[in-house]
Amino acid sequence: MKDTYVDKIQAIREFLKEKIGEKHAVLGISSGIDSSLVLTLLATSIDNNKIKAIFMPDKYTKQDDYEDIKKLSESTGLDIITVNIESVLESYRALLDTSDKKLEGNIRSRIRANILYYHANLLGGVVIGTTNRTEYLLGYYTKYGDGACDIEPIEGIFKTDVWKIASILKVPQSIIDKKPSAGLWENQYDEDELKMDYHEIDRILSDIFDNHTLNGKYEKLMELYLKSMHKRELPKAMN
């Protein structure tokens, strides 16, 4: 079992080396497990001087996240720069009605994408995404927000496997233990919004997409998959 994970780790490292080449890699680091794992994999795959890791807190960011960023910087040996986005959000609040927390959440995600692409432009680099297979299949990400990137190294890995691989690679334990959160509004947690536990979600998704069987509460997940089909396709174009 562990060998399978070791093989996956090796395959992702090879993928990162090949796809990034000599370019810079730019990525957003939240101190959540997905971005922490991707940064840990990058640190052992490419020239560390070519990694631009950016933490972009706002007023909802918890003190624990700031501390986990320090731990991650120590465990990877990489600098993580901080860009606070609250003032940018204030500008949006002055322009638009942001009273709907989900709409404001998507703006947060797209502000972060904007900052990452600024650095990719500046450095001649590529933006590294952190969407895992569970999020990809459910469309559980903001289109052109955290979904905006050039390379997706963990898109084939279910969330529950992200935890296992992070544990093998010794990502700081407080990051592994943290409850998954998109952090798009105060106390937003993935499993509350999805109304299901990630272990159950991954079991059902694996049954549908790997084993081609339908078990458990698959209807709701199938509905999310079908509703988000557009996020996995290029824009419809008339030629």
Ligand X SMILES: Nc1ncnc2c1ncn2[C@@H]1O[C@H](COP(=O)(O)OP(=O)(O)OP(=O)(O)O)[C@@H](O)[C@H]1O
Ligand Y SMILES: Nc1ncnc2c1ncn2[C@@H]1O[C@H](COP(=O)(O)OP(=O)(O)OC[C@H]2O[C@@H]([n+]3cccc(C(=O)O)c3)[C@H](O)[C@@H]2O)[C@@H](O)[C@H]1O
179 CB-near residues (< 8 Å, 6+ apart) = 189, 191
34 sits near ligand X (criterion: CB under 6 A)? yes
Amino acid at 164: K
Contact present, 210 and 218 (Cβ < 8 Å):
no
3-state secondary structure of 127: strand
Q: Is 34 annotated as a binding residue?
A: yes
Shortest Å, Cβ 236 to ligand X: 26
Q: Write down the least CB distance from residue 219 to ligand Y, Å.
A: 18
Four-CA torsion 174, 179, 182, 185, nearest 10 degrees:
-110
Work out how close the CB of 228 gets to ligand X at its nearest, in angstroms, rounded to a whole number. 14
Spatial CB neighbours of 234, under 8 Å, sequence gap ≥ 6: none
Per-residue contact track with ligand X, 91 to 130, x per CB under 6 A? ---------------------x-----------------x
Site map 2..31 versus ligand Y, x via CB under 6 A: ------------------------------
Q: Which residues bind ligand Y (CB under 6 A)?
A: 105-106, 109, 135, 139-143, 145-146, 182, 184, 190, 193, 230
